[in-house]
Homo-oligomer: A and B are copies of this chain.
Amino acid sequence: MTNYWRDMSLIVQKYGGSSVATPEKIKKIAEKIKKNVEEEEKVCVVVSAMGKTTDELIALAKRISDSPKPRELDMLLSTGEQVTAALLSIALNDIGVPSVSFNAFQLEMVTTSDFNNARIIDINAERLLDEFQTNDVIVVAGFQGITDLKDITTLGRGGSDTSAVAIAAKLNTKCEIYSDVAGVFACDPKIIPSAKKHEYITYDELMELASMGAKVVHSRAVEIAKKFKVELYCASTFSDERGTFVVDSLPEWLEQPVVTGVTMDKNQRKFTISPLPGGQEAQVQLFIALASKKINLDMISTVKDNGQVYLTFTVVEGASERVREVVEEVLSQYGEYRLIEDDEVVKITAVGVGMESAPGVAARFFAALNKEGVKLLGTSTSEIKISTLVPKYDAEKAVRAVAREFSLA
């Protein structure tokens, strides 16, 4: 690949669905991008579908079939982003900014063939860079890809973030993620209005926060950003308020907070098998069977009592029917068991790279919850996070307690 693009000042920007919900908003974004161009930057803009378009397309498909064929569903859903890309390019050209729009086909955004949840394999950066010879802005339909066989795929919810970061990685440049959220907050401003906004946050922390329910950036996008050291900036589309830089490690002059954020994940369903028949062999068989059905277990804990094993795990809400089927299929051959399902649980997670070097964080976390009388229903930890399940009715109280303890607001 030629290196001429290194002479360009080149950035990738991504605008989410609510930022492009109406023709008026699209025109405003075009004006915003024009300012970048006037500062002699070339901009690759990745867009989502307008407003609730993706949901509407899914609803349309569901009026026809309860289980639309995944390949055809992606054929359908990919149109949403293409509409936005074309409209934004029309808006840019209308105000004198030379621009062209591309879909995944045209840009050869090659993915795996996992319809509805594909992963990017490669992008034709040469095509992009060629187009910058004659255009100041290239608008790319996010969320979509194509397979080797030219089938259209989509990247899963939040996939436009992933498209944007992947392009930035390929172009070796930075990526700005614009949405209606003004950056990365230490906790949800809807629950705690005084929530602190980070000026900087590390990839690792944001990845944990994102996968734990914070909605700023898609976690897979952060994963790619980390892998290729793509500098991210998350900010509000229509305000000049300073956003958040996502970086490999915090600037040295910045005091390292112990806990960076606390999140709440309501999308959990807890299963308890009491007791588990067949012991460890059954448990292994069960985990293998669940994995083969692509069910991700989240918080797993086992307790041994009086020779019996009691197993608890959580899954994301939509998967619970498949879980029941797999459990029945695997365990019925081993003996009697009780399967208890509980959807009245919420996962509370505290994240912070500072945890590694600061002992006693877990103790402070649990003490803070305990002091407020919050019931703890299960726990899992990693180097930079502590998660616990709490009853749904205690969830907001729990977030407030953790935020207070670690000065997040």
**Cβ < 8 Å to B, chain A residues 41-71:** 57, 60-61, 63-69, 71
Tell me the minimal C-beta distance from A126 to chain B in angstroms. Answer: 13
Chain B contacts of A72 at CB under 8 A? 86-87, 89-90, 93, 100-101
**In the assembly, what is the distance between CA of A89 and CA of B86, in Å?**
25
**In the assembly, what is the distance between CA of A185 and CA of B159, in Å?**
51
Q: Which of A9-17, A77-85, A238-246, A339-347 is near enough to bind chain B?
A: A77-85
Q: Is A27 an interface residue (CB 8 A)?
A: yes
**In the assembly, what is the distance between CA of A83 and CA of B75, in Å?**
7
- B26 x A64 contact (CB < 8 A): yes
Tell me the minimal C-beta distance from A153 to chain B in angstroms. Answer: 13
Q: Which B residue's beta carbon lies closest to that of A104?
A: B105
Number of copies: 2
- A60 x B76 contact (CB < 8 A): no
Q: Which B residue's beta carbon lies closest to that of A77?
A: B86
**In the assembly, what is the distance between CA of A91 and CA of B71, in Å?**
13
Interface residue count for A (Cβ, 8 Å)? 38
**In the assembly, what is the distance between CA of A151 and CA of B103, in Å?**
10
Contact with B along A188-213 (1 / 0, CB 8 A): 00000000000000000000000000
- A90 x B106 contact (CB < 8 A): no
Chain B contacts of A168 at CB under 8 A? none
Chain B contacts of A76 at CB under 8 A? 82-83, 86-87, 90
Q: Is A279 an interface residue (CB 8 A)?
A: no
**In the assembly, what is the distance between CA of A66 and CA of B27, in Å?**
13
Q: Is A318 an interface residue (CB 8 A)?
A: no
Contact with B along A254-274 (1 / 0, CB 8 A): 000000000000000000000
Q: Which B residue's beta carbon lies closest to that of A27?
A: B64
**In the assembly, what is the distance between CA of A75 and CA of B71, in Å?**
21
Tell me the minimal C-beta distance from A299 to chain B in angstroms. Answer: 36
Q: Is A324 an interface residue (CB 8 A)?
A: no
User: Contacts A71-B100, A79-B82 hold; do A90 and B65 have CB atoms under 8 A apart?
Assistant: yes
The 9 A-B residue pairs whose C-beta atoms are closest, nearest first, are A76-B86, A65-B94, A75-B86, A23-B63, A79-B79, A68-B90, A72-B89, A69-B93, A72-B90
**A/B interface sample: 19 pairs, CB < 8 A:** A23-B60, A60-B83, A61-B86, A61-B90, A64-B87, A64-B94, A65-B91, A65-B93, A65-B94, A69-B89, A69-B90, A72-B100, A72-B101, A73-B86, A75-B85, A75-B86, A75-B101, A79-B83, A106-B151
Starting from the known contacts A23-B63, A64-B90, 17 additional A-B residue pairs (CB-CB under 8 Å) come to: A23-B60, A60-B87, A64-B87, A64-B91, A65-B91, A65-B93, A68-B93, A68-B94, A71-B100, A72-B87, A72-B101, A73-B86, A75-B82, A76-B90, A79-B82, A79-B83, A105-B105
